[in-house]
Amino acid sequence: MSGIDAVLTRLDDTAQAELAALYRDLHQHPEPAFEEKRTARIAADRLRESGFEVRTGVGGTGVVGVLRNGEGPTVALRADMDALPVLERTGLPYASVENGLMHACGHDMHVTCLSGAAQLLSAARDQWQGTLVALFQPAEEIAAGAKAMVDDGLFDLTGPPSVVLGQHVFPRPAGTVFIRPGEILGAADSIEIRLYGRGGHSSQPERTVDPVVLAAAIVMRLQTVVSREVSPFERAVLTVAQIHAGHKENVIADEASITLNIRTFSPEVRRRLLAAIERVVNAEATASGAPRPPAFHTLNAFPLTANDPTATVRLTEAFTTRFGPAGVADMAPMMGSEDFGVFGTAAGAPSVFWGLGSADPSRYARAEQAGRLGEDVPGNHSPFFAPLIFPTLPMGVEALVTAALTWLHS
């Protein structure tokens, strides 16, 4: 029996049922960024029960578990914990009981899988050597949690990791992991722009500078930035997601704000988009006769997520051995963003991030054939997003165990 088999033999029906109950509980009780106190307490308690040295409150609400088991490499496994301000509409019996909050991105599944993997690896310490680090990270959704943990002395607690590993559920067929070397998730920047006008009565627009008209002109002009200033061979997205102005139908407001988000894979394209946004906004404000220049405020910035090529090849081979060729697929680059890469960059260590399929395979196949994936297979951040618990959960645990033992072999 291999070391992986010896560890996973404990992932029996009873263990899977217990983890499924944990997942449903976490799904019912989502918590927003930097407020994951209940989730962190549960994660910390389970780590302590498994013999880990545990530190809580790292980077706010982060939890760090360290299990030292002789000489060898240090492997860090990461799960994010925060939920989203989304009103759940799945109709599940274990749907969120927190109004306006939902685990719409699967972080509850991530926490459950890491908790299960940590428990199994602790119980089979005779099968591996080295140091296992379990990172339960806050505030991934606002690109702040990983940096907060690093800034709070994370690696002083754990020592430098040899590799950092993480996974994420996606609306792809359950029973499959998705992985590739190199760039896999784009960089993202979110910006709030405040526009200044001159308010007045709606019957006298000539006495005003209307910030709503200014905002509308900016939105339309920004739609040409990607189509006319970025090469068709590059990848970029620019989305204006929010416009706010005014409080009454017969009052022209004196201010408006727009919030936008860009996604890029190239530092040069990112620089070009940010410069174009500033140029367009300032030019339109000048053209409108705005009394003050616009104010720009960065809300968050996600780094590019790129897998270390050598470590990724090593892990892909391990996954293929474990799950078979049919269980491992290529993870095409996505415009979604993550702050997972902060850990590897800060530690100077290779990192690997892979996808975990979570959609019903039959439903996915029917939707794909009909060209209705977007309609029939809800994706991350949708109010209908609901990972299939089985086989997603046991495979997620198995993937983390396999990944850890790829480096922590005896």
Name the active-site residue from 35, 88, 140, 338.
140
Amino acid at 246: G
> How many whole angstroms separate alpha carbon 130 and alpha carbon 410?
8
Q: How far is CA 85 from each of CA 25, 50, 141, rounded to the nearest angstrom?
A: 18, 33, 10
- Plot region of 5 (φ>0 → left; ψ -120 to 50 → alpha; else → beta): alpha
Helix H, strand E, coil C: the string for 173-213 is ECCCEEECCEEEECEEEEEEEEEECECEECCCHHHCECHHH
Structure tokens at 99: 């109004």
Name the active-site residue from 82, 108, 189, 360.
82
Verify whether residue 140 is a known catalytic residue. yes
Active site residues: 82, 140
